[in-house]
Structure 1
Amino acid sequence: MNMSLPTQESLTIEFKSETSRAISNTEIVDNVVALSNTDGGDLFLGIEDDGTPTGVAHQHRNIDQLAAYLFNHTVPPIQVRPSLIQADDKTIVRISVDASTQLICSNAGRVTHRVIKMDGTPEVVTMYPYEFVSRLSSIGQYDYSAQPAPGARLDDLDAYARDALREQILSSGADTSLLELDDATFDGALGFRTNNSQTGESTPTITGLLMIGEQQALKRCIPTATVVFQVMRDGAPAVDETLQLPLTRAIPRLNELMQPWNHATERMVGMTQQDIMDYNRDALREAMLNALCHRDYSMLAPVHIQLDEIGLTISSPGGFMRGIDASNLLTVTPTPRNRALTDALKRCGYVERTGRGVDRIYAGSAATGRPFPDYSQSTNERVVVFLRKSTPDARFMDMLDQAQQRRGTRLNTEDFLVMAAIRATGQINITEIRQATTLDLGRITAALEALVADGTVTCDADLYSLADSPDTAVDIVVTSNNASPSTDRDRNQILSLAKSNNGIITTRQVMELFDINYLTAYRLLKNLQDDGILTHDGKGRYSRFLLHA
């Protein structure tokens, strides 16, 4: 079999050299177990660490025998898919391994997994018993939040916190049937207590303590339930507070800490004033709740919320659940790590009952013309979301308002994201929209069809652009520290650039000249056209402005 080989190792790719000696069968078993206990992948025998194929040892070329050996030396047995590959006249063995839905060990009892070292290269390490819970919960096979809290007693549940939770249910209009229950039944219905199968005694669960536990009980029984909130200014903390509180108290306290630093920008729509926050309240709330709800409570590390001059970073222990990553957050079916805790938060009105809170995070950012949430810093050990601080785009918000008026209803999340992706580049095709938004093709196509039908988006030769909506009677003023270029000097810079380019200038050139978005750049050129200085020529990718002769 001939095929192209990977050029470097990764979390799912491992190379083993057999030039000096054949590696031991025990080492092969440990590597196969590690791949199975991580994300699956391929083990290549006969390739150097730098990706050079040098050939597999003769004793490992019988791939049927190799598969049988691995099946008989793993617990539970693993069925691998080995194959022979020819590369540069060298024979290579590839052993393909699926990610397991349970913990795998060697027949000698060793449990291994793969991690990424500080230098970015992978290694196989022993998985210790305290890591078993984290692994099983990440693949949806164990709900840590539903377990009895170690050493907890029923009097560790705070009656005042329970009353606050009842008030939350009432004010949010969530599962109000819970309000009719007595305390013991209320706790049982929300999974706050469980009965010992042997003694029949009731014991608080991890969820019970996390939601309404006494502060001292949390510190004693769940020391991992910690949140660090920091505001950094000039590299030093202006605010630095560590919280170890039940969620009924931690959530309001985080809102209090954030409020002085989430400044409002005034937007006037006619005689109505709207406050546009630095961080959309819905997006901010969902991002914080996601961190608190889906973190790995078996890991001894805090949720870290840090605000600085650039933006807001929320980091929570535990990587994405299996099958989820930054590229498919908006398309895969949500799989909660802590099912009992998630259910309690939903029934009490804290989080989305649909489990699609991440949609709100994206839509809240896109609705003001700000960058999408950035999950690129996430690792196997932490989920990190970054919300960049930026000036809201008044023109784009105006277009959203007009689009909703034409449709007669609120735009959905896909509409917001598709329009935001188009806004960022001016003209864009479906493939580029998919890369920018991570939405699936079906949702993108449906959104584009609706937006084109509304007259919000235009299509020319498979390129989509935001329609140049006519000015309306709506008077929009956004006060901010960053003004768009509009002075005579700025106009002269545009004209100078056009003259140096044979009298031609494009919207993209103006975007790059002033580091502004497409709509603002287009409006500047349109103003010069209205003044009789420029004329417009072409459509779509051929659109340009020309100096009058």
Structure 2
Amino acid sequence: MGIIEIIQQGENKNVEFKSWINSNKKNLINTLTNEAVGFANTNGGIILVGVEDNGEITGCYDYDEQNIIESIYDKTMPKLFTDIEEIKYKNKYILKIIVEKSPEIVATSKGVVYKRLGKNTKPFYPSEYTTNKILGFKGDYSANIIDSTTKDDIDFAEVERLKLKIQSRDKDSTLYQSDNIMFLKDLRLIVTAEYAIRLTVAGLLFVGTKAAIAKYAPQAEIIILTYSDGYTEYNKRLELKMPLIQSVERIQQFFEDRNGIQNIQMGLFKLEVEDYPINVFQEALLNAISHRDYESNASILVKFYPNEIIIENPGAFPSGVDSSNIITHPSSPRNKLIAETLQKLKYVQRSGQGVDIIFKDMLSLGKSAPEYNLFSEAVSLTLRSNLEDIDFLKFITREEEKNGEFSVSEICILKYVKSNKTITLAKAAEVAQVTRQSASNVLNKLCQKRNILQREKRNKYMFTHRVYESLDDSVEYTKDKDFDEIQAKAMIIDYLEKNGSITRVDVERLCGFSSTSSKRILKRLRDEKIIILKGRARASHYKLN
């Protein structure tokens, strides 16, 4: 059914309309969270943002799709994963938020539960729940209860370590103030029934004794292999069968001891570039832990080669995820409870897979893109340490100093233009793994900076000549300089017609030119008697002749 047909049928138990233009954005996020919780606790549904209650399409503007997804994720418990589809209708944009039915009761972060009743969202009270016990659910093996476990299987020294981590890392949290049993219950690492304590799979992996882990989850090990030369035989093997946080810290120390640094000269200072950014390796490792198939007998393998790291993980990607959408596909971790616990311990700072962080940081440091290989029962990720493109590293560093940090979409697009000189709208959508509309927005944003990209022709973009000059690409600089200056001439005349006068500094900002280029184009316009100079020194400015 098309979007117009859905709107014409009006709101119902599966469809909700929300206005964008008449809403306080903070209040709107809270409302969207409540509606999403209601749908998740009923039969799922869609929220159409940019549509009034009467079905009038008023549209959305200046929105951040990722922020909406993350806000709903952060404001729900257990964390609710939603998806957003951007729909254009008569030059107006509707955001279609898709909410799947949850296999367990979902509440807001304030502890309020809702359900869908007809076309309204109503409070959902405990007496109406089919069950108040968390027994694990399909799709989250880590939330299953291990019936034969007892209190004796808990390593309470490890519990205290987790409490100290939360206390030091999350000043707003009160979790660590509870006694040990309540702390574990709040994290859903244990359940209690008739005075008996049972560990969930996540509980076993986070706070189980080594003996309990070996007994109930012997497959839950991480193996580190190191290779000196070649790819055939390793020279060191380390098997980790211990609580997850202990394993993570052991691997992180192992990684840091081997992570080298290369100094890159940039003007008067040196830029230290690590072989592998620490946050990239951490995201990759935590993804493996959150997404691995704990029912598989295979282990997570972390292989350290002289110039690359390969992480092999048992368990295929979720349905619908492949190499063409891995950056932007909404996260759906196989082990949600493990992922949520890592987030509460502040090992994961945000919702989502972290794949975008891995791509962005590797590419912006002039390294090759992460390589994912997908198999029927496993996934491998390869990270390479070699500096593939030092010029791109310097370029991104300089631009971010001036304009702030680039997004992963911007980095992917800029990297492609650096390698291929130009990019079309279709190719931009492909390399950034976003819709054409989103790609158009990113390209327009880069063009608005006027010193990064410019439009060569309809739906085709390239670097400005200033960028080619900074990249020391004399051929492209010469070819594109004339194009830039022709375009700049029209822009300056248009500016003067609207504003009356312009300064050299205005030209630099307007056209993205250096001081030298701005002086040159202004002199050319004066020689052609198109503009005249008024005033002197700092008071000097230009007007149309």
Partner of 1:276, secondary structure, is: strand
1:510-536 Cα offsets, whole Å, 9 max, x none, are: xxxxxxxxx96x637579x8xxxxx88
Match of 2:340 in 1: 343
Amino acid at match of 1:366: L
Separation (CA, whole Å) in 2 of partners of 1:368 and 1:335: 28
1:18-46 Cα offsets, whole Å, 9 max, x none, are: xxxxxxxxxxxxxxxxxxxxxxxxxxxxx
1:31-77 Cα offsets, whole Å, 9 max, x none, are: xxxxxxxxxxxxxxxxxxxxxxxxxxxxxxxxxxxxxxxxxxxxxxx
Partner of 2:146, secondary structure, is: coil
Match of 1:380 in 2: 376
Match of 2:283 in 1: 286
Match of residue 446, structure 2, among 445, 448, 451: 451
> Once the 2 structures are TM-superposed, how far is the Cα of residue 537 of structure 1 from its aligned partner?
9.2
Distance change >3 Å, CA 242–CA 451, structure 1 → 2: same
Match of 1:498 in 2: none
Match of 1:70 in 2: none
> Once the 2 structures are TM-superposed, how far is the Cα of residue 305 of structure 1 from its aligned partner?
1.2
> Once the 2 structures are TM-superposed, how far is the Cα of residue 342 of structure 1 from its aligned partner?
1.1
Distance change >3 Å, CA 317–CA 356, structure 1 → 2: closer
Distance change >3 Å, CA 289–CA 468, structure 1 → 2: farther
Match of 1:238 in 2: 235
Partner of 1:233, secondary structure, is: coil
Separation (CA, whole Å) in 1 of partners of 2:456 and 2:171: 46
> Once the 2 structures are TM-superposed, how far is the Cα of residue 346 of structure 1 from its aligned partner?
0.9
Partner of 1:176, secondary structure, is: coil
Question: Which contiguous aligned blocks of 4+ residues in structure 1 show a shift greater than 6 angstroms?
Answer: 535-540
Match of residue 352, structure 1, among 333, 336, 349: 349
Match of 2:327 in 1: 330
Match of 2:422 in 1: 427
Match of residue 296, structure 1, among 279, 293, 296: 293
Which structure 2 residues correspond to residues 416-495 of structure 1 after superposition, within 5 A? 416-454=411-449, 455-461=451-457, 462-469=459-466
- Please say if 1:410 is aligned against 2:424: no
Separation (CA, whole Å) in 1 of partners of 2:296 and 2:171: 31
> Once the 2 structures are TM-superposed, how far is the Cα of residue 277 of structure 1 from its aligned partner?
1.0
Match of 1:205 in 2: 200
Which structure 2 residues correspond to residues 53-132 of structure 1 after superposition, within 5 A? none
Match of residue 400, structure 1, among 371, 396, 401: 396
Match of 2:19 in 1: none
Match of 1:218 in 2: 213
Partner of 1:223, secondary structure, is: coil
Which structure 2 residues correspond to residues 515-526 of structure 1 after superposition, within 5 A? 523=473
Amino acid at match of 1:448: L
> Once the 2 structures are TM-superposed, how far is the Cα of residue 271 of structure 1 from its aligned partner?
5.1
> Once the 2 structures are TM-superposed, how far is the Cα of residue 255 of structure 1 from its aligned partner?
0.8
Match of residue 261, structure 1, among 242, 258, 279: 258
Answer yes or no: is the 8 Å Cα contact 2:310–2:383 preserved in 1. yes
Separation (CA, whole Å) in 2 of partners of 1:240 and 1:188: 36
> Once the 2 structures are TM-superposed, how far is the Cα of residue 244 of structure 1 from its aligned partner?
1.1
Separation (CA, whole Å) in 2 of partners of 1:175 and 1:336: 26
> Once the 2 structures are TM-superposed, how far is the Cα of residue 239 of structure 1 from its aligned partner?
2.7
Separation (CA, whole Å) in 2 of partners of 1:421 and 1:177: 46
Separation (CA, whole Å) in 1 of partners of 2:397 and 2:452: 11
Separation (CA, whole Å) in 1 of partners of 2:414 and 2:161: 41
Amino acid at match of 1:170: Q
> Once the 2 structures are TM-superposed, how far is the Cα of residue 363 of structure 1 from its aligned partner?
1.0
Point out where structure 2 has 5 or more consecutive residues left out of the alignment: 1-101, 104-135, 485-545
Separation (CA, whole Å) in 1 of partners of 2:142 and 2:235: 34
Answer yes or no: is the 8 Å Cα contact 2:363–2:415 preserved in 1. yes
> Once the 2 structures are TM-superposed, how far is the Cα of residue 297 of structure 1 from its aligned partner?
0.6
Distance change >3 Å, CA 369–CA 439, structure 1 → 2: farther
Answer yes or no: is the 8 Å Cα contact 2:400–2:406 preserved in 1. yes
Amino acid at match of 2:383: L
- Please say if 1:227 is aligned against 2:177: no
> Once the 2 structures are TM-superposed, how far is the Cα of residue 345 of structure 1 from its aligned partner?
0.9
Partner of 2:145, secondary structure, is: coil
Match of 2:247 in 1: 250
Separation (CA, whole Å) in 1 of partners of 2:429 and 2:291: 26
Match of 2:496 in 1: none
Point out where structure 1 has 5 or more consecutive residues left out of the alignment: 1-100, 103-136, 473-518, 530-534, 541-549
> Once the 2 structures are TM-superposed, how far is the Cα of residue 373 of structure 1 from its aligned partner?
1.4
> Once the 2 structures are TM-superposed, how far is the Cα of residue 411 of structure 1 from its aligned partner?
1.9
> Once the 2 structures are TM-superposed, how far is the Cα of residue 360 of structure 1 from its aligned partner?
0.8
Separation (CA, whole Å) in 2 of partners of 1:423 and 1:271: 25
Answer yes or no: is the 8 Å Cα contact 1:307–1:313 preserved in 2. yes
1:289-344 Cα offsets, whole Å, 9 max, x none, are: 10011111111110111122452211111111122222212222211211111111
Moved more, 177-186 or 436-445: 436-445
Separation (CA, whole Å) in 1 of partners of 2:389 and 2:167: 37
Calculate percent identity across the aligned residue pairs.
22
Distance change >3 Å, CA 274–CA 183, structure 1 → 2: farther
Separation (CA, whole Å) in 2 of partners of 1:146 and 1:526: 57
Match of 1:500 in 2: none
Moved more, 245-254 or 437-446: 437-446
- Please say if 1:148 is aligned against 2:98: no
Answer yes or no: is the 8 Å Cα contact 1:305–1:315 preserved in 2. yes
Separation (CA, whole Å) in 2 of partners of 1:155 and 1:270: 61
Distance change >3 Å, CA 285–CA 233, structure 1 → 2: same
Separation (CA, whole Å) in 2 of partners of 1:352 and 1:180: 22
Distance change >3 Å, CA 223–CA 395, structure 1 → 2: same
1:146-167 Cα offsets, whole Å, 9 max, x none, are: 1123532222222222222223
Answer yes or no: is the 8 Å Cα contact 2:148–2:198 preserved in 1. no
Distance change >3 Å, CA 419–CA 170, structure 1 → 2: farther
Answer yes or no: is the 8 Å Cα contact 1:229–1:305 preserved in 2. yes
Match of 2:40 in 1: none
Separation (CA, whole Å) in 2 of partners of 1:396 and 1:361: 17
Distance change >3 Å, CA 309–CA 469, structure 1 → 2: farther
Separation (CA, whole Å) in 2 of partners of 1:413 and 1:452: 16
> Once the 2 structures are TM-superposed, how far is the Cα of residue 459 of structure 1 from its aligned partner?
2.3
Match of residue 184, structure 2, among 175, 183, 187: 187
Separation (CA, whole Å) in 1 of partners of 2:211 and 2:172: 29
Amino acid at match of 2:148: G
Partner of 1:353, secondary structure, is: coil
Amino acid at match of 2:409: E
Distance change >3 Å, CA 439–CA 201, structure 1 → 2: same
Moved more, 272-281 or 256-265: 272-281
Answer yes or no: is the 8 Å Cα contact 1:231–1:306 preserved in 2. yes
Separation (CA, whole Å) in 2 of partners of 1:268 and 1:177: 46
> Once the 2 structures are TM-superposed, how far is the Cα of residue 367 of structure 1 from its aligned partner?
1.3
Distance change >3 Å, CA 238–CA 272, structure 1 → 2: farther
* Greater relative contact order structure (CA < 8 Å, 6+ sep): 1
Separation (CA, whole Å) in 2 of partners of 1:469 and 1:212: 56
Match of 2:77 in 1: none
Partner of 1:361, secondary structure, is: helix
Separation (CA, whole Å) in 2 of partners of 1:353 and 1:279: 21
Answer yes or no: is the 8 Å Cα contact 1:226–1:302 preserved in 2. yes
Answer yes or no: is the 8 Å Cα contact 2:290–2:336 preserved in 1. no
* Equivalences, count: 347
Match of 1:318 in 2: 315
| Structural RMSD (CA) | 2.9
